[in-house]
Amino acid sequence: MQSWIPLVPDSASTFSWQVDALYFYLSGVTLFFALLISSVLIFFVIRYRRRTPWEIPRPVAGSHKLEIVWTIIPFLIAMTMFGWGARVYFTQYKTPADAIEVYVVGKQWMWKLQHATGQREINQLHVPVGRKVKLIMTSEDVIHDFFVPAFRTKADVVPGKYTTLWFEATKPGTYHLFCAEYCGMNHSGMIGSVIVMEPREFDNWLSGNTSSTTPAVAGQQLFQTLGCASCHGANGEGGRGPALAGAFGKETELQDGGKATVDERYVRDSIINPQLKLVKGFGPIMPTFQGQISEDQLVQLVAFIKSLSTGGQTQTSAPAPSATPQK
């Protein structure tokens, strides 16, 4: 399905029209000035051409008035672009709290996705229409970039950290997913699709795929086998290590006097580099797990620690959250 202007891709998210409007404004301003300047140029070339070989032009003195005018007008126009662009940017990068979460791991050359309810997908992402979806993304190797043109959004997927992206699809359908960062030989083949479904269809799809354990449950098992429980307590209640239950999403005081918000990135950093941001009152006794666990496993641990604060996601067969909007 093409949109009415064949120059732009399908438009299927809540902010695609905002991006389009801004884009058309930029194009319009550019076109207007390109025409204005080239016509004035042509006019001057003809009007003030040298008529005889001996002609000496009249000397021209500067004009402050003119200079002020051609400084202030472009400045104001540039500020409208800045203001408008910043607004669109902030809507895209401020992730809403009520989004359903999907974990994304990029690697040469594929996308691995896992829903909070456990369903895994490769190069495909099923989402319900009309619901906010948040992607928590990282890479196993080099920088990739998750790009869905129909949603007018993209974000880099970077090794060693989590980046996020959110969208709300407005139209059921199948949309292209691209890697938008050159990542090696098969970069152009690192593609897939986002399948936007009606809420009921999506619920059916979810319940037809519940065989896999949720990331939070897998994380709980890892938490035991890696020995985390010996310091953080079997249920994350704390001990020789800081308590994990209830910590996610809150601010914690650090040993060096600073503060840190316990989010996905903080948890990941603390597993890989425990000495970096020590919680106040605890010594540097935790070993690093760098190189010992994969990105998938890190995602699971993060999901488990998160579930200790949000609750409800640690059952083995987590009930699929209904995609039907609740009012």
Q: Which of 125, 137, 165, 183 touches ligand CUA by CB under 6 A?
A: 183
Looking at beta carbons only, is 105 or 218 nearer to ligand CUA? 105
Whole-number minimum distance, CB 102 to ligand CUA, in Å? 18
Looking at beta carbons only, is 10 or 181 nearer to ligand CUA? 181
**Considering the rule CB under 6 A, would residue 181 count as an interface residue with ligand CUA?**
yes
Radius of gyration of the chain (CA): 27
Phi-psi region of 269 (alpha: psi -120 to 50; beta: other; left: phi over 0): alpha
Q: How far apart are CA 158 and CA 165, in angstroms?
A: 13
Q: Which 107-126 residues touch ligand CUA, going by CB under 6 A? A: 109
**Considering the rule CB under 6 A, would residue 182 count as an interface residue with ligand CUA?**
yes
Looking at beta carbons only, is 138 or 213 nearer to ligand CUA? 138
Whole-number minimum distance, CB 151 to ligand CUA, in Å? 18
Q: Which 10-49 residues touch ligand CUA, going by CB under 6 A? A: none
Looking at beta carbons only, is 67 or 141 nearer to ligand CUA? 141
Q: Which of 179, 267, 302, 323 touches ligand CUA by CB under 6 A?
A: 179
Looking at beta carbons only, is 128 or 192 nearer to ligand CUA? 192
Looking at beta carbons only, is 160 or 319 nearer to ligand CUA? 160
**Sole window of 61-69, 71-79, 177-185, 288-296 interacting with ligand CUA (rule: CB under 6 A):** 177-185
**Considering the rule CB under 6 A, would residue 190 count as an interface residue with ligand CUA?**
yes
Q: Which of 187, 232, 265, 306 touches ligand CUA by CB under 6 A?
A: 187
Site size with ligand CUA, rule: CB under 6 A: 9
Q: What residues make contact with ligand CUA under the rule CB under 6 A? A: 106, 109, 144, 179, 181-183, 187, 190
